[in-house]
Amino acid sequence: MGQHAENAPGETVRPEFRTGRVRELANDGTVRVLAHLPGETETWGWANCGLIEHRGRALLVDTPYTPALTEGMLARYEERVPGVAIEAVALTHANGDHCWGLQALPGQPEVIATEATAHAICHEPSPEQVTALLRGSDPDSALGAYFRAMFPFDFSAVELGRANVTFRGEHVVKLGEGADGVEVHLIEVGPGHSSGDLLVHVPQAATVFAGDVLFVGHHPVTWASLTGVIAALDRVLALEPEVVVPGHGPVCGPAQVAELRDYLELLRLHAERCHAEGLGLLEAARSFPLPAYAAGWGMPERMVITIATHYRALSADQGAPDMVALVGACAEYWAQAGGRSQGDAERAAGGPVPLPEQRGAGADEAAQAGRG
Ligand SMILES: [Zn+2]
């Protein structure tokens, strides 16, 4: 069961996926804001990136997951802004799908990140470790099947980059000099999705790149702090943007930010009830009454990770998340759903799902047996 990718090593990314497209979000003659949107979004790892340009000089927001994908993105930008000089790149956070393409950037741009992100880049699972999981795990195990289905990338050429400008709080990047220059505000909002999230705000263009505190069209994944992501979304809304670029999914406006905030608040309350009742993670995820607007969202298995993150907070567990173990729990949920990751419209249409009767130790096993 499950979906087994059958790509040969070194060919895990299908060629048609290499080409994303660039969309212009704002252009007032002084500042242009572009987003690189991947051509594929149905698995993990297809992140949006940005380019903020002023008179031929630019700040990038994030890189794609691999050097090859990053080269494809740079070619698309070059078509739209010929000769653009990338002076700096701001990393919204440390997950590989936002920074493992750094080595493909020409010249030696400044790499700007929060201090927490700079630390996390060196401590999250490395490209070598992820490659070992992709190639070495049992394809018939839930985790092995999930990794193969959900991470269709080749990480073998990735050399980990480093941030060389770090900050806490806020940091302003100025493109150009004098009154004509354009300010870009980097605003630390982590821990939330990750330990060191930041927002990229271009006030002159009323645009915010939110990184992975915002997902659109898929269930979000929260590694560090659920209440932190909710506060980060409040921060996005307080900036009163007209255009918001999520880490993953289509470009949107404030309404989608408010919607995700609402979902996370409901999930927080649900997780707190389940924690108090001693429910396991899978059972808690399965019994979350999905709001109607989330019915079509993909990757519902990621609720497991977000709930686990809030369980850790409720248990005052200060330790770093075990990302591989959490993806393993996510894979169990996915495998029990038949290896499907599309939305759960049926369940949402049916209204709230009652909590199962069985409680306490073994609750997840009971849930697996009864509701798989
Ligand atoms: Zn991401």
CA of 214 to the centre of ligand 1 (A): 9
CA of 260 to the centre of ligand 1 (A): 16
CA distance 325 to 199: 28
CA of 45 to the centre of ligand 1 (A): 6
- Per-residue model confidence (pLDDT) at position 5: 36
312-323 b/e (C-beta count within 10 Å ≥ 16 → b): bbeeeeeeebee
Q: Among the residues of 239-302, which ranges form H helices?
A: 254-276, 281-286
- DSSP, collapsed to helix, strand or coil, labels residue 212 as strand
Query: Could you read off the pLDDT of 199-240 as tens digits, one per residue?
Result: 999 999 999 999 999 999 999 999 999 999 999 999 999 999
CA of 138 to the centre of ligand 1 (A): 25
Domain residue ranges in the chain: 15-371
Q: How many CB atoms lie within 10 A of CB 285?
A: 28
What's the pTM? Answer: 0.88
Q: How many CB atoms lie within 10 A of CB 18?
A: 18
**Which residues are 199's β-sheet partners?**
187
CA of 194 to the centre of ligand 1 (A): 10
CA of 21 to the centre of ligand 1 (A): 17
CA of 181 to the centre of ligand 1 (A): 30
pLDDT of 52 strictly over 50: yes
- Per-residue model confidence (pLDDT) at position 207: 98
CA of 305 to the centre of ligand 1 (A): 14
CA of 121 to the centre of ligand 1 (A): 13
CA distance 243 to 237: 11
Q: Which residues surround ligand 1, an ion (CB under 5 A)?
A: 47, 97, 212, 247
Name which of 17-21, 70-74, 138-142, 343-347 the model is least confident about.
Answer: 343-347
Query: Could you read off the pLDDT of 59-101 as tens digits, one per residue?
Result: 999 999 999 999 999 999 999 999 999 999 999 999 999 999 9
Answer CATH for 15-371 from 3.60.15.10, 3.30.200.20, 3.40.190.290, 3.40.50.1110? 3.60.15.10
CA of 190 to the centre of ligand 1 (A): 14
C-alpha to C-alpha distances, 305 to 49, 161, 221, 321, 372, nearest whole angstrom: 24, 26, 6, 10, 18
CA of 99 to the centre of ligand 1 (A): 10
Written as six digits, the tokens of 263 are 């979902």
Name which of 16-25, 64-73, 88-97, 358-367 the model is least confident about.
Answer: 358-367
CA of 255 to the centre of ligand 1 (A): 21
CA of 98 to the centre of ligand 1 (A): 6
What own/partner pairs with CB < 8 Å and gap ≥ 24 does 165-168 have? 165/88, 165/110, 165/111, 165/112, 165/113, 166/112, 166/113, 166/114, 166/115, 166/117, 166/118, 167/112, 167/114, 167/115, 168/114, 168/115
CA of 97 to the centre of ligand 1 (A): 5
